[in-house]
């Protein structure tokens, strides 16, 4: 059998076989852009082959929903499947689910992703580790791997944000990371200290509730219950937080840890209270560091790639190109390096599959157009059809619902009220880039959790925003909204 | 989601000079850091829903109706008026170099200032100083 993607020259190289890498490869193929996909793993699925550690995802996939499984509109109700043009390839994760829960188990997710890779013909060279990167004089990128050199015009790194990361607390090196958490029964009868009060810290607390003698969570930042209430991570927090709130044993302490000390039979932590000043000293039989994850960008800093969050996340442009390194793109979870306009403080949904799968499609289109002059064919609208199209997208466009205030449906306006679909674009690109007359429609959410459409109109180079009223049934294709959109398009 | 900037960087800013190290650490763990390339708009005149930004590194220009009014550098902040009043900014703020900022979402600003009154006082003094400068121009 011929070797999949042998070393050599390709228009584009994609690194990673998690959901980010698989999605971008599929979308590049649909646009006819030849590329190689490399992965250090030996099967598809990325992080979901081993994590989350307690075996259940946060993100929903509803096997039954207001739309049929093969429909595009169904995507919003299924946050975990990858996108496909062929209805047969859609909704592959719920097809694996046993329906005990509305969120898949880790093995169900892994199987759904593997089914996609197989049935959508995503070919990956497995067992191939990217190790070094350089830029040649002609501008092309050269990726040195365990299996030889790959040369390309554009590279897409879908590396995940999955490398265990620890803050620089003295002594923390002796504390096992979240990914090294043992079987729950190993903590039976023990007092367990968890460093970190975010998602992964609470996942451990939740998983150990039936086993540990006591779970104590410590970090400087208080848990923001009002923020969590509106996010999918709340399923992890609910039980431990209720336990802590009712004094049931679990403790969630706000303290900055000064150092971690090993003792004869466990750990001692020295800390200072933050929301409540004072020294805090804690002893525990076991400790776990739920201190977060990083993107393994290796030597990409040498090409000019910049990072935020203490080197953990690449800083990206709205089209997910590395700030400071043209031609170097990111896909998957790392696309959180472009948070967008953060309207009302709400960033993009790029750290989860349901958000970044759309980034992948927009990215593939951007690469095809910028580097290869390939532009997908899109619909044109007669006068009067533009408002109807936008109204449908506002009510049911999965891109807009999944990537609120980050992705927008753009229609270029032409003479006499006609229009041309300009696809889905990052909203910050639309509001900041000069361009011909056009409108961009998005769904947004404010800090209070209210969801409503916003339309941005660019006329004569100036962009104005029009915030529409929220509606309890989200029926933004209704007659009132249609009339309002028509008015906006006329003005 | 990523934690924000590192504690060292924040601790050096005048805005946080009165806080204890654990308090600065709590801020570092609460708010995110964002980096903007040169030329990128950070605050947009006339657009609702903006946030407060504290400059960690780099420089930005305050631009009103296309005209540059002033420059801001490390330790300075912008977006406070629109966030506190819930109105749209009356100026663009544009990165003039690569710009690194701490982002405080509007919805969290009041709680933040109440939790750290020393920061509120520093911010108030700076706002008054800016007002005095503006009045001189008139
Ligand atoms: C604990 C935890 C729980 C999560 N739960 C959810 C959830 O419930 N729902 C959700 O949507 N998201 C969840 N996420 C976010 C999750 O990381 C992403 O949704 C998803 O796994 C990211 O996909 P990805 O393709 O970006 O990266 P990954 O799935 O991490 O895949 C990275 C790929 O890059 C490859 N790679 C890395 N370095 C190299 C190299 N040097 N050479 C070659 N290949 C390389 C890896 O082998 C792998 O194939 C969670 C994250 C964490 C950390």
Residues in chain B: 138
Whether A467 contacts B48, CB under 8 Å: yes
| Residue B109, pLDDT score | 94
> Is residue A3 a part of any domain in this protein?
no
Residue that is last in its domain, among A322, A337, A372: A372
Residue nearest to atom 48 of ligand 1 (CA): A46
Statement to judge: residues A179 and A282 lie in one domain: yes
Statement to judge: residues A146 and A202 lie in one domain: no
Statement to judge: residues A340 and A451 lie in one domain: no
Statement to judge: residues A18 and A158 lie in one domain: yes
Phi/psi of residue A169, nearest 5 degrees: -75, 125
Residues in chain A: 491
Statement to judge: residues A150 and A46 lie in one domain: yes
DSSP of A363-419: HHHHHHHHHH-------EE-TTHHHHHHHHHHHH-HHHHHTTTTEEEEEEE-GGG-E
Judge: B35–A315 Cβ closer than 8 Å, yes or no: yes
For residue A340 and ligand 1, the question of a CB distance below 6 A is answered with: no
| Residue B135, pLDDT score | 72
Helix (H/G/I), strand (E/B), else coil: A434: coil
**Mutation probe of ligand 1 site: the residue of A18, A59, A148 with most atoms within 8 A of C-beta:** A18
Contact with chain A for residue B95, Cβ under 8 A: no
Contact with chain B for residue A171, Cβ under 8 A: no
Statement to judge: residues A225 and A340 lie in one domain: no
pLDDT more than 70, % of chain A = 98
Residue B2 pLDDT level (bands cut at 50, 70, 90)? very low
Output the domain CATH number for residue A46: 3.50.50.60
Q: Whole-number mean pLDDT of chain A? A: 95
**ω into residue A52 within 30 of 0, thus cis?**
yes
Statement to judge: residues A368 and A388 lie in one domain: no
Residue that is last in its domain, among A312, A347, A372: A372
- Quote the domain boundaries for residue A45: 8-162+294-372
Mind listing the pLDDT tens digit for each residue in A160-183?
Answer: 999 999 988 999 999 999 999 999
Statement to judge: residues A189 and A59 lie in one domain: no
**What is the domain count for chain A?**
3
Judge: A312–B100 Cβ closer than 8 Å, yes or no: no
Instruction: Tell whether ipTM is more than 0.95.
Output: no
| Atom number in ligand 1 closest to CA A293 | 53
Statement to judge: residues A260 and A314 lie in one domain: no
| Residue A68, pLDDT score | 95
Which residue out of B38, B49, B63, B101 would a mutagenesis test of the A interface target, given it has the greatest number of A Cβ atoms within 10 Å?
A: B49
Statement to judge: residues A51 and A138 lie in one domain: yes
Contact with chain B for residue A396, Cβ under 8 A: no
| Residue A3, pLDDT score | 83
pTM above 0.90, yes or no: yes
> Is residue A16 a part of any domain in this protein?
yes
Statement to judge: residues A282 and A211 lie in one domain: yes
Average pLDDT over residues A257-276: 95
Mind listing the pLDDT tens digit for each residue in A33-53?
Answer: 999 999 999 999 999 999 999
Average pLDDT over residues A349-363: 98
DSSP of A108-156: HHHHHHHHHHHHTT---B-S--EEEEEE-TTS-EEEEETTEEEEESEEE
Whether A134 contacts A304, CB under 8 Å: no
> Is residue A2 a part of any domain in this protein?
no
Judge: B35–A255 Cβ closer than 8 Å, yes or no: no
Domain ranges of chain B: 7-106+116-133
Residue that is last in its domain, among A291, A326, A360: A291
Q: Which fold has domain B7-106+116-133?
A: Jelly Rolls (2.60.120)
Statement to judge: residues A61 and A151 lie in one domain: yes
Whether A413 contacts A388, CB under 8 Å: no
């Amino acid at each position: 059998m011929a070797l999949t993607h042998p070393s050599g020259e390709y228009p584009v190289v994609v690194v990673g076989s998690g959901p980010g890498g698989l999605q971008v490869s599929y979308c590049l193929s649909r646009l006819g852009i030849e590329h190689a996909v490399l992965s250090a793993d030996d099967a598809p699925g990325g992080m979901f082959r081993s994590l989350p550690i307690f075996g259940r995802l946060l993100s929903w996939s509803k096997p039954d929903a207001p739309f049929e499984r093969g429909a595009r509109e169904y995507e919003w109700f299924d946050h975990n499947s990858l996108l496909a043009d062929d209805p047969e390839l859609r909704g592959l994760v719920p097809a694996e689910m046993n329906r005990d829960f509305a969120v898949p188990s880790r093995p169900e997710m892994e199987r759904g992703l593997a089914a996609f890779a197989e049935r959508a013909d995503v070919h990956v060279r497995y067992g191939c580790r990217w190790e070094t990167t350089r830029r040649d004089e002609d501008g092309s990128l050269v990726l040195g791997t365990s299996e030889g050199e790959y040369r390309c015009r554009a590279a897409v790194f879908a590396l995940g944000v999955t490398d265990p990361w620890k803050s620089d607390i003295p002594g923390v090196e002796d504390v096992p990371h979240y990914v090294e958490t043992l079987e729950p029964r190993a903590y039976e009868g023990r007092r367990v200290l968890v460093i970190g009060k975010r998602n992964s810290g609470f996942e451990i607390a939740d998983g150990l509730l039936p086993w540990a003698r006591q779970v104590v969570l410590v970090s400087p930042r208080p848990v923001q219950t009002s923020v969590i209430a509106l996010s999918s991570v709340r399923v992890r927090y609910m039980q431990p937080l209720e336990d802590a709130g009712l004094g049931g044993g679990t403790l969630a302490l706000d303290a900055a840890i000064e150092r971690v000390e090993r003792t004869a039979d466990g750990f001692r932590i020295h800390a200072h209270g933050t929301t409540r000043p004072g020294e805090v000293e804690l002893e525990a039989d076991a400790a776990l560091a739920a201190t977060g994850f990083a993107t393994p960008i290796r030597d990409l800093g040498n090409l000019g790639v910049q990072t935020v969050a203490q080197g953990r996340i690449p800083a990206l442009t709205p089209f997910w190109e590395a700030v400071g390194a043209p031609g170097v793109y990111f896909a998957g979870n790392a696309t959180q390096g472009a948070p967008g306009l953060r309207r009302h403080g709400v960033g993009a949904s790029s750290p989860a599959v349901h958000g970044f799968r759309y980034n992948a499609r927009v990215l593939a289109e951007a690469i095809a157009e910028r580097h290869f002059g390939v532009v997908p064919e899109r619909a044109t609208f007669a006068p009067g059809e533009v408002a109807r199209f936008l109204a449908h997208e506002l009510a049911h466009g999965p891109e807009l619902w999944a990537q609120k205030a980050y992705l927008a449906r753009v229609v270029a306006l032409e003479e006499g009220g006609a229009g041309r679909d300009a696809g889905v674009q990052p909203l910050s690109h639309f509001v900041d880039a000069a361009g011909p007359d056009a409108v961009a429609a998005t769904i947004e959410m404010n800090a209070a959790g209210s969801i409503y459409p916003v339309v941005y109109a660019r006329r004569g180079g100036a962009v104005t925003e029009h915030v529409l009223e929220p509606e309890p049934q989200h029926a933004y294709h209704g007659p009132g909204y249609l009339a309002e959109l028509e008015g906006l398009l006329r003005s | 989601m990523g934690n924000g900037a590192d504690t060292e960087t924040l601790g050096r800013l005048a805005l946080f000079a009165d806080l204890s190290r654990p308090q600065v650490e709590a801020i570092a763990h609460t708010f995110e850091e964002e980096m903007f390339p040169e030329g990128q708009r950070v605050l947009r005149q006339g657009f609702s829903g903006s946030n407060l930004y504290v400059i960690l590194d780099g420089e930005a220009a305050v631009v009103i109706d296309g005209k540059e009014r002033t420059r801001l550098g490390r330790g300075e902040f912008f977006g406070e008026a629109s966030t506190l009043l819930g109105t749209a900014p009356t100026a663009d703020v544009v990165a003039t170099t690569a710009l690194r900022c701490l982002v405080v979402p509007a919805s969290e600003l009041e709680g933040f200032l109440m939790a750290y009154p020393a920061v509120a006082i520093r911010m108030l003094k700076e706002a008054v100083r800016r007002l005095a400068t503006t009045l001189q121009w008139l």
